[in-house]
């Protein structure tokens, strides 16, 4: 599904290298966790995959289902099935969340040559998914992320993911700012989306989330590289020992 080979990325402004030869391969149906200390480049990786500006890829490749991701516009990547749940979701004043969902879904469907959904079809689609994530109708009428609490923002991100039904989901610190109940709701929403033809990359700083979203593979990222890969037990080990040894080794 996702294949990243020897990816080198630097900041366009400063020229500082953030990703320093990162390699990662995720197969359909798998859930991979990427854990690592703050500043190790986890968000940078997610942004580069989603196509944010401000980064320069100096070496390496990243493909989605064999197709070169890095040559595409962000919206083209989305239409091909990539979804990033943002660490800090962005406010879009005046655009109702429901309207945003519909415009986004239909833009993607259109790009893929699929028929756009009518209003009733769309309503049916959203209703159940919203309920599952404790997203009220009232919240759907509010402008995208404007005045949302931390938990609401994260639930809204997962709702977008559920509605857009991507092939590759990247979740960046989706657990940050959530209390335990909210975390459970979000995790259930994510687990409901696990499917044989869908892959997930769950970025997190803490092991806590992985109690609820149990990964198949855990990677440790430090200083712009994957420095260790293991099974789900690796998360517990990290929780106990911290990242110090990896950070030192990576420097």
Partner 1 sequence: MADQDTIDLVKDIDVDKYKYGFTTDIEQEFAPRGLSEEVIRFISAKKNEPQWMLDWRLEAYRVWQTMVEPTWAKVSYPKIDFQSLYYYAAPKAVTGPKSLDEVDPKLLETYAKLGIPLKEQEILAGVRQQGEKSTLDEEGAGATTPVAVDAVFDSVSVVTTFKAELAKAGVIFCSISEALRDHPELVKKYLGSVVPQGDNFYAALNAAVFSDGSFVYVPPGTRCPMELSTYFRINAKNTGQFERTLIIADKGAYVSYLEGCTAPTREETQLHAAVVELIALEGAEIKYSTVQNWYPGDKDGKGGVYNFVTKRGDCREAHAKISWTQVETGSAITWKYPSCILRGDHSRGEFYSIAISNGRQQVDSGTKMIHLGKHTSSRIISKGIAAGRSDNTYRGLVSAHRKALHARNFTQCDSLLIGDKCGAHTVPYLEAKTSTAQFEHEATTSKISDDQMFYVMSRGLSEEEAVALIVNGFVRDVLQQLPMEFMAETQKLIGISLEGSVG
Ligand X SMILES: Nc1ncnc2c1ncn2[C@@H]1O[C@H](COP(=O)(O)OP(=O)(O)O)[C@@H](O)[C@H]1O
Among 24, 30, 35, 42, contact with ligand X (rule: CB under 6 A): 42
- The yes or no reply on residue 44 touching ligand X (CB under 6 A) is yes
Least distance (Å) between residue 39 CB and ligand X: 4
Q: φ and ψ at 17, to 5 degrees?
A: -80, 130
Rounded to an integer, what distance in angstroms lies between the CA atom of residue 90 and that of residue 67?
28
Check if the beta carbon of residue 207 is closer than 8 Å to that of residue 238: yes
Query: What part of residues 22-61 is at the interface with partner 1 (CB under 8 A)?
Result: 50-54
The two three-digit tokens of residue 9, written as one number: 């990325």
- Residue 203 Cβ vs ligand X, minimum distance, rounded to whole Å: 7
CA distance 233 to 251: 25
The least CB distance from residue 93 to ligand X, in Å, is 23
Residue 39's binding partner among partner 1, ligand X, Mg ion, none (Cβ under 5 to 8 angstroms by kind) is ligand X
Query: Which residue, 117 or 247, is less far from ligand X as judged by CB?
Result: 247
DSSP 11: E
**What CA–CA distance (Å, rounded) separates 135 from 146?**
15
Select from 189, 178, 194 the least CA-distant residue to 128. 189
On whether the CB atoms of residues 228 and 234 are closer than 8 A, the answer is yes
Q: Of the two residues 46 and 108, which places its CB atom closer to ligand X in the complex?
A: 46
Residue 39 binding ligand X, by CB under 6 A? yes
Answer with the entry of ligand X, partner 1, Mg ion, none that 164 interacts with (C-beta below 5 to 8 A by kind): partner 1
DSSP string across 107-142? HHHHHTTPPPPPHHHHHHHHHHHHHHTT--HHHHHS
CA distance 35 to 117: 38
Of residues 55 and 148, the one with the C-beta less far from ligand X: 55
Question: Which residue is nearest to Mg ion, using beta carbons?
Answer: 43
User: What is the rounded CA–CA span in Å between residue 14 and residue 16?
Assistant: 5
Binding mask 199-228 for partner 1 (x = CB under 8 A): ------------------------------
Examine residue 119 and tell whether it contacts partner 1 (CB under 8 A).
Answer: yes
Q: Is the torsion defined by CA of 199, 202, 90, 67 positive or negative?
A: negative
Find the shortest distance in angstroms from Cβ 173 to Mg ion.
Answer: 6
From residue 45 to residue 64, the character string flagging contacts with ligand X as x (rule: CB under 6 A) and all else as - is ---------x----------
CB of 44 to ligand X, least distance (A): 3
Out of 40, 43, 160, 174, the only residue in the binding site for Mg ion (CB under 5 A) is 43
Q: Restricting to residues 146-175, name those near partner 1 by CB under 8 A.
A: 160, 164
CB of residue 90 to partner 1, shortest distance in Å: 4
């Amino acid at each position: 599904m996702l294949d990243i080979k020897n990816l080198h990325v630097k900041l366009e402004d400063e020229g500082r290298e953030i990703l320093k030869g990162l390699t990662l391969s995720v197969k359909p149906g798998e859930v991979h966790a990427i854990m690592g200390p703050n500043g190790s480049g986890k968000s940078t990786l997610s942004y580069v995959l989603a196509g944010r500006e401000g980064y320069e890829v100096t070496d390496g490749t990243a493909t989605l289902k064999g197709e070169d991701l890095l040559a595409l516009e962000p919206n083209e990547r989305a239409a091909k099935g990539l979804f990033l749940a943002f660490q800090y979701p962005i406010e879009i004043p005046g655009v109702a969340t429901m309207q945003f969902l519909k415009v986004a879904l239909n833009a993607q469907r259109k790009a893929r040559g699929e028929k756009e959904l009518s209003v009733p079809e769309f309503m049916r689609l959203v209703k159940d998914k919203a309920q599952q994530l404790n997203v009220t109708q009232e919240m759907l009428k509010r402008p995208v992320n404007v005045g949302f609490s931390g938990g609401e923002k994260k639930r809204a991100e997962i709702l977008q993911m559920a509605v857009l039904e991507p092939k590759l989901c990247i979740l960046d610190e989706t657990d940050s700012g959530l209390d335990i109940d909210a975390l459970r709701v979000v995790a259930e929403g994510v687990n409901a989306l696990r499917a044989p033809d869908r892959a997930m990359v769950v970025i997190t700083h803490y092991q806590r989330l992985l109690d609820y979203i149990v990964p198949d593979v855990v990677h440790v990222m430090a200083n712009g590289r994957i420095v260790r890969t293991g099974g789900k037990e690796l998360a517990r080990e990290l929780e106990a020992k911290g990242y110090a040894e990896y950070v030192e080794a990576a420097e």
